[in-house]
Structure 1
Amino acid sequence: MQQSNAYVITFSVILTVILGLLLSGTSEVLRPIQKKAEELDTKKQILGAVMQPSEIRNMKDEEIEAFYDSRIASKVVNIEGEEVEEDKDGTPVNAETVDVGKNYKRAPEDRLYPVFIYHEDGNEEEVIAYILPVYGNGLWDNIWGYLALQTDLSTIEGVTFSHAGETPGLGARITSSDVQSRFTGKTIYDEGGSLQSVSMQKGEGRDYSDDPHKVDGLSGATITAEGVNKMIRSYMSHYEAYLNRKKDEKEIALN
């Protein structure tokens, strides 16, 4: 039997409302699960800058949580290297909840800069490495990661990189352990103490083992590699005041 137009419209509206409510309800139910998964993934990326990928893969989620809690301390600093507990609007902050992507849209002097400190089990005084978030632009979308510095505050202990939409097999290779391992042992300061950073070179297949500031590039992904270079140099300059403060503290402690 053919229904009237009013009936069809009413039925469609009711169905749309019901489906909308179901989707909204499902989203609310899943939101805490999604948030926890995102937090766990972030912790894996942070730990990935100081641990081997195989070590993290072999750990259960609860083991990663426990390891993170016992080995990572954190703080938030400003571009002057000063530790802060509030954003400029008075909102309390901590390193784990700072959205580096949102902060990237601010002027550098207005951003919050998380610092993650990798230390001996249960002893925050025995620092092994400082892990610093980095954020920038690749070829198609944003790229980000974590760079760990040894206690000399110059030598790279390790890095992890992620991306939102780089080309598979090309720029997306920044997530591979092979590419990331190239940064280990490189230094961000030159012998005179000036920030030199570390740069991926154009092309791929060359040996830069004798150069502390150069890393083999990505064949066919020059723009992504340049994005990584700018990202690292930019954020290391933003963290430079904090790193200098830590160096001064070390000098005082030695004397």
Structure 2
Amino acid sequence: MSGAGRGAVPDSRDSTGNTFAVAIGVSLVCSVLVSAAAVLLKPAQDLNETRYRQKIVLEVAGLYDDDVDIEKAFAAIDAQLVDLASGSYVTTLDASSFDAEEAAKDPDLGVAIPDNLDLAGIRRRATMMPVYLVRTGNAVEQVILPVYGKGLWSTMYGYLSLSADGGTVLGLRFYEHAETPGLGDQIEREEWLAQWPGKRLFGGDGEPRLEVMRGKVAGGSNAVHQVDGLSGATLTGQGVSRLLQYWIGPHAFGPYLEKLGAKEQGDG
């Protein structure tokens, strides 16, 4: 019997090829949609990140509450760029748009940190860093420094608020890290952070002395530089000590803090 009236049997190879073609087409469309969404969402994500950091600056300055307009309140803070080598302000660049982490990677805007000085474990830093001045009238009341360095599992990012002479801690806040939940994340807890105000940055020899202890702070002359340790998170505490000592030290904000102290003495 003739097979002329029967339909042709589909070639399985054609069917497989069509399946792959459809799958590839769907993948390409999805990739385009995901990429487009990422591009469209990035400005909003960047703005959210900026507002979050501004909120932390306001918190460490004691200027934040739930009703505050973050953008308006932050606009009253004077952002400046500091040349770390000289401790002088840089007036040729905009501090509000300066990305210190990106600058650190740039051969012209970044510098390698010698191993013997790299207490924070960050290898490179920008030659300039932003600072945030809180004023009452024309008088500077607080100076807020960005600080960061290695903990046990992550790089910890925060802000350190200081008195106008750069010698006394007024507050400390961390806004990004990936330390162990329930242990290393004690660096965010209010009861631990509440120990920092009033601590003195430098000893009588001028050396950085801020330190997180392994246990409780004992009495004695060094207590003015020390806070209690983090239970179960000794290495995170050591990371906090080291990053603070680096950033207030001679290879980072040290020259700037020295100028602040001299200015306050001169004004006094």
Give % identity: 27
Deviation at residue 209 of structure 1 after TM alignment: 9.2
Aligned to 1:90: none
1:24 matches 2:29: no
CA distance change for structure 1 residues 185 and 222 in 2, over 3 Å: closer, same or farther? Answer: same
CA distance change for structure 1 residues 251 and 115 in 2, over 3 Å: closer, same or farther? Answer: same
Query: For 2:219 and 2:228, how far apart are their aligned partners in 1?
Result: 7
Please list, as runs of the form range in 1=range in 2, the aligned pairs for 1:191-202 lying within 5 A after superposition.
Answer: 191=204, 194-202=206-214
Query: For 1:175 and 1:137, how far apart are their aligned partners in 2?
Result: 16
Aligned to 2:98: 98
Aligned to 1:66: 72
Aligned to 2:61: 50
Deviates more, 1:172-181 or 1:242-251: 242-251
Query: For 2:260 and 2:217, how far apart are their aligned partners in 1?
Result: 35
SS across alignment from 2:37: helix
Larger radius of gyration: 2
Residue ranges of structure 2 left out of the alignment (5+ in a row): 1-9, 106-110, 114-124
Aligned to 2:45: 34
Query: For 2:266 and 2:169, how far apart are their aligned partners in 1?
Result: 23
Judging by fraction of residues, say which structure has more helix.
1
Deviation at residue 189 of structure 1 after TM alignment: 1.7
Conserved? CA contact 1:98–1:112, under 8 Å: no
TM-score between the two structures when normalised by the length of structure 2: 0.80
1:8 matches 2:19: yes
Query: For 2:255 and 2:17, how far apart are their aligned partners in 1?
Result: 68
Query: For 1:214 and 1:104, how far apart are their aligned partners in 2?
Result: 30
Query: For 2:166 and 2:217, how far apart are their aligned partners in 1?
Result: 27
TM-score between the two structures when normalised by the length of structure 1: 0.84
Conserved? CA contact 1:117–1:130, under 8 Å: yes
Output one character per residue of 1:106-126: Cα deviation in whole Å (capped at 9) or x when no partner. 425753211110112xx3x22
Aligned to 1:248: 262
CA distance change for structure 1 residues 101 and 207 in 2, over 3 Å: closer, same or farther? Answer: farther
Residue ranges of structure 1 left out of the alignment (5+ in a row): 87-92
Point out 4+ residue stretches in structure 1 off by more than 6 angstroms. none
RMSD of Structure 2 on Structure 1 (CA): 2.3
SS across alignment from 1:172: helix
Tell me the matched-pair count: 237
